[in-house]
Amino acid sequence: MLSIINGRVVDPSQGIDGVYNIRVDIDSGKVVSIGTKPDADDETYDASGKIVTPGLIDMHVHLREPGREEDETIETGTRAAISGGFTSIACCPNTSPPIDSQAIVEFIQQQAIRSRNCNVYVICCISKNREGKELAELGQLFKAGAVACSDDGSPVEDAELTRRAFEYCLMFDKPLLSHPEVTSLTKGGVMHEGMVSLLLGLRGMPAAAEDVMVAQDITLAESTGGKLHVMHVSTEGAVSEIRRAKLRGIKVTAEVTPHHLTLTDDYLRSFNPNFKMSPPLRSRNHVEACIEGLRDNTIDVIASDHAPHATEKKMRELDQAPFGVIGLETALSVVITNLIKPEILTWTSLIEKLTINPAKILNIPKGSLRVGEDADITIIDPEFQWRVKVEDFKSKSKNSPFIGMTLTGKPIAVFIKGKK
């Protein structure tokens, strides 16, 4: 047996927030009890002064393999996840070839097992080859183990295709994960359309491009009864649309990234490609709206949108560099520094958005320390201060917008099925 003792256990799935011991059966990898004293022969881990939570879940990660192993592999990506405190991740389908066949789903599952790091769940394509023209074989993909579908990296702009995808997802009780963007409005854009883009002379990507697609997808979810999850929300209008939809009882959930909660388009004044992502960093009013969406539970999940790019690709001129930043290893610390320390969010609210909420959306058996559940556990030092350095990243790529920043709070241990 393993006993994790003296830690502040925060488990929103059970309404727990207090100092408890957790006993784990190492052989079965299950939680045995919470609140009982360890036996004399138990192996112990002293978590005094630390936060003990269900294993963190990141439901929006790009692992790049197969096809773009120069950016990331399943092995390096899952190693980065562990470093960031995540015991489970869901990987997006914009690989090469895309995840639109059973064989690729099974390949990723096997590669994850071989890597022996964290749990990996697969998100499959909505459309064949992510082209937005013809539905992928969703039934076969879900039977192969895919937990959701998305064309993330690209939107599905054909409303009829999206409607039929919702109907298929209903048959298998799976969510559709939407990349909300109207590409005719963002074509050629480099950053958020606003005063900063005007001053820099860079083509902008208007907030309306996100707002319009969110409204369309919510309407289609309402008409079909399907489950919609809006990825990487970044605009005030999108937050308002989702809030109104929830009040009407529509099955919609949403996520926001740490960088959209903490950075603004002002960072693009440096012309540093590590601040270029899609959706782009927005102006302060949009950041504040996303924070308020977290506070009032309009936004259900914090996800990294970990999007690695090899250095030689990312460090081009700003208009030539690809969109995307890594985030697995900094996500938790960025949110602790910017939202927990200023008391904008409580620990319970934060952990809820990193554990049980993504688990419920993806319908996976994770996110809780209930007796009998898998002993996936993250231990966090809430006061640990550290500086983000390129050489410390476990990810194969180094394209982080937080390089050089000092952050507070860090995961210091991870247990998966009771094993450290």
pTM above 0.95, yes or no: yes
Smallest Cα–Cα separation from 367: which of 27, 36, 14, 46?
A: 14
CA dihedral 153, 157, 158, 163 (to 10 degrees): 80
Using an 8 Å Cβ cutoff, are 43 and 3 in contact?
A: yes
Q: Is position 370 within any domain? A: no
Smallest Cα–Cα separation from 217: which of 165, 272, 264, 173?
A: 165
Q: 144 and 260 share a domain?
A: yes
Q: 192 and 317 share a domain?
A: yes
- CATH number of the structural domain spanning residue 291: 3.20.20.140
In the chain, what is the greatest distance between 2 CA atoms, to the nearest angstrom? 68
Q: Is position 92 within any domain? A: yes
- Residue 36, pLDDT score: 87
Q: Is position 7 within any domain? A: yes
Calpha distance 267→215 (Å, rounded): 29
Q: Is position 420 within any domain? A: no
Q: 82 and 165 share a domain?
A: yes
Q: 47 and 63 share a domain?
A: no
- 176 strand-pairing partners: 149, 228
Count of domains forming the chain: 2
- CATH number of the structural domain spanning residue 22: 2.30.40.10
Q: Is position 105 within any domain? A: yes
Q: 296 and 317 share a domain?
A: yes
Q: Is position 197 within any domain? A: yes
- Residue 366, pLDDT score: 98
Q: 9 and 76 share a domain?
A: no
Q: 96 and 160 share a domain?
A: yes
pLDDT tens for the chain, residues 1 to 420: 999 999 999 999 999 999 999 999 999 999 999 998 989 899 999 999 999 999 999 999 999 999 999 999 999 999 999 999 999 999 999 999 999 999 999 999 999 999 999 999 999 999 999 999 999 999 999 999 999 999 999 999 999 999 999 999 999 999 999 999 999 999 999 999 999 999 999 999 999 999 999 999 999 999 999 999 999 999 999 999 999 999 999 999 999 999 999 999 999 999 999 999 999 999 999 999 999 999 999 999 999 999 999 999 999 999 999 999 999 999 999 999 999 999 999 999 999 999 999 999 999 999 999 999 999 999 999 999 999 999 999 999 999 999 999 999 999 999 999 999
Q: ω into residue 279 within 30 of 0, thus cis?
A: yes
The H or E element spanning position 110 is: helix 102-115
Q: 22 and 159 share a domain?
A: no
Q: 267 and 402 share a domain?
A: no
CA dihedral 415, 375, 368, 81 (to 10 degrees): 30
- Residue 84, pLDDT score: 98
Q: Is position 113 within any domain? A: yes
Q: Is position 294 within any domain? A: yes
Q: Which residues are catalytic?
A: 305
- Residue 40, pLDDT score: 87
Helix (H, G, I), strand (E, B) or coil at 228: strand
Q: 143 and 126 share a domain?
A: yes
Q: 334 and 231 share a domain?
A: yes
Q: 131 and 17 share a domain?
A: no
Expressed as residue numbers, the domain containing 351 is 55-362
Helix (H, G, I), strand (E, B) or coil at 35: coil
Query: Which residue type does 213 have?
Result: M
Calpha distance 59→328 (Å, rounded): 11
Smallest Cα–Cα separation from 94: which of 356, 345, 320, 278?
A: 278
